[in-house]
Amino acid sequence: MHGIDLAALSGPGPDVDAIVTAIALHGVVVMRGQTINPSEQLRVAAFFGPLLAERSRAVPRRPEVRYETDAGGDAAAPRRVFFNEQWHADLSWADVDPPVTMLAAEAVERGCAETQFADMRGAYAALDEGTRTRIDGWKAVHHVEMSRWIRHGAPMSGQPGWARVLARRVRALTQHVRLAMQFTRRGMQVRLPPIPPWPGIAVPVVQIDPGSGDRFIRLGDHAWTVQGMADSIGPRALVELERMIIEAAPVLHHEWQPGDVVMFDNRTLLHRREPGVHARVRRLRRIVLWPRRGDGLEEQRVN
């Protein structure tokens, strides 16, 4: 999108509305040449709706802004970014769907990992009638810890899966309490990261985009099984369906340039960091928007 100077925005208005419309229409909006620091990014993001507090990797004193940092070629990078390299929707395991994510390039070297977006409306449109009928009525079960265990458990650590799931859950609860105290003390209005119910929330695999009326596929790395299927069948069926859907989906490759701010529809797209590219400096700041109460998006999720 041209002609938008995010730092100059003073509040909700025509520019914010134009960006919202463009996201609904195109899925991804790229605004180049922006100069916004973390505070400005936060101020501008808040014009679009409530913000989510991050549990980890937050900017100091700015818990709504999370850093995705690559120092360039450091040995820990492949492991740290592993989950960002899987096709996912941010917080698809939450009880409501965050509608939009904003990524701002703070420092990006030429040749650093792209961010890739897969259009799930296009994916549904490309499915054959047989598959559409087969998945009609499917609900995928999304849970951030369960999916990491079931999908990726073995290669990630020697610890038994259940111990890691439990440890992550205790950590999430502790962080929740710490953030709640922090915000209450400062009188801030921010959504705390939700704690997902066990063993996940059931999310319809085929959904209708309220804006366009198009059907789209809702899956991604946080989904780990299909509700009602045996554990010996569900996880495999889901991964196979997802592979097919990604193959069918139109994919946008975003190469980062300094000054880029990207906002995308976190419901009708999946995204990932380009896998296997870790050699270059890359620092992005992420802000996740939360639905406004009563704007219809909270009713979107049918469990």
Ligand X SMILES: O=C(O)CCC(=O)C(=O)O
Min dist. Cβ of residue 225 to ligand X (A) = 22
Q: How far apart are CA 149 and CA 65, in angstroms?
A: 27
What is the phi/psi pair of residue 231, to 5°? -65, -20
Residue of 284, 287, 289, 297 that binds ligand X (CB under 6 A): 284
Give which of ligand X, Fe ion, none residue 115 binds (C-beta under 5 to 8 Å, depending on kind).
Answer: ligand X
Q: How far apart are CA 7 and CA 191, in angstroms?
A: 24
Give which of Fe ion, ligand X, none residue 286 binds (C-beta under 5 to 8 Å, depending on kind).
Answer: ligand X
Count interface residues toward ligand X (CB under 6 A). 8
Q: How far apart are CA 162 and CA 167, in angstroms?
A: 9
Nearer to ligand X, 98 or 234 (CB): 98
Which residues, 6+ apart, have CB-to-CB distance to 122 below 8 Å?
248, 249, 250
- Residue 106 binds Fe ion (CB under 5 A): no
- Residue 15 binds Fe ion (CB under 5 A): no
Residue of 54, 90, 97, 242 that binds ligand X (CB under 6 A): 90
Residue of 69, 115, 225, 268 that binds ligand X (CB under 6 A): 115
Residue of 90, 145, 242, 260 that binds Fe ion (CB under 5 A): 90
Length of the chain (residues): 303
Nearer to Fe ion, 103 or 127 (CB): 103
Residue of 68, 119, 221, 260 that binds ligand X (CB under 6 A): 68
- Residue 221 binds Fe ion (CB under 5 A): no
